[in-house]
């Protein structure tokens, strides 16, 4: 089974702390992926850090996610999927 994720959306917004009034960026990445014992694909929302974490990423891209020591996604790297990856995602490679 592949470790790749497929981007189905992303969002950048802001959150204002009620404690100090400071505003912080909020970045969310929406992905789907094949998962064991799942019919079809599973999906997740991933919290991301970094101003440019989505640079070069488009909806539909296959990506690898890199995490920092705190468990936050700090890099989203587009990758070219191999044939087996596409099969795992249910893509009909005969029509590609």
d(CA 6, CA 1): 14
Residue 2: pLDDT over 80? no
Where residue 93 falls (left for φ over 0; alpha for ψ -120 to 50; beta otherwise) is: alpha
Q: Mean pLDDT of all residues in the chain?
A: 90
- The pTM of the full predicted model, rounded to 2 decimals, is 0.85
Which run of H or E residues covers position 46?
A: strand 42-48
pLDDT band at 91; cut points 50, 70, 90: confident
- The set of residues, in sequence order, having a beta carbon less than 8 Å from that of 15 and lying 6+ positions away, is 23, 24, 25, 26
Confidence of residue 18 (pLDDT cuts 50, 70, 90): very high
pLDDT at 22: 93
């Amino acid at each position: 089974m592949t470790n790749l994720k497929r981007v189905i959306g992303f969002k950048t917004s802001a959150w204002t702390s009620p404690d100090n009034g400071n505003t912080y960026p909020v970045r969310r990445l929406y992905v789907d992926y094949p998962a064991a014992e799942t019919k079809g694909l599973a999906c997740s929302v991933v919290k991301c850090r970094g101003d440019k974490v989505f640079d070069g990423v488009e909806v539909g891209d296959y990506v690898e996610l890199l995490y920092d020591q705190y468990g936050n996604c700090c890099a989203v790297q587009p990758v070219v999927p191999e044939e087996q990856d596409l099969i795992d995602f249910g893509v009909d490679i005969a029509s590609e």
